[in-house]
Structure 1
Amino acid sequence: MIDTDASRPWFEDMSGARSPAEAAAAPLRLALDPVRPETYGELVRFGKVLAWR
């Protein structure tokens, strides 16, 4: 969830929401940084590998 003027009316609790700048940082890192072998082919959220379920 991203804390924007458009999203605030739809959610009562925005305490866990990221700012637009914070939300943009993760995909930009994935697109622009060199590939990290430990994350290649993995499900990654905010730089951390998530377990597949």
Structure 2
Amino acid sequence: MLHRIIEVCINNRFLTMLATVFIVGAGLWAVRKTPLDAIPDLSDVQVIILTDYPG
């Protein structure tokens, strides 16, 4: 299967390069359109728990 894919890519160099440029362009477009909110807040989360112990 992989041998066949490599053979098709070698025989169709123009289409391979065109597909590569398209995929890279789509990736760059996706990176630029990703909103900043997609980056998680990495600050420390602090939780205070108060409990009463009878006695």
Higher strand share: 1
TM-score by length of 2: 0.25
TM-score by length of 1: 0.26
Higher helix share: 2
Structure ranking higher on relative contact order (CA contacts 8 Å, 6+ apart): 1
Q: Which has the larger Rg? A: 2
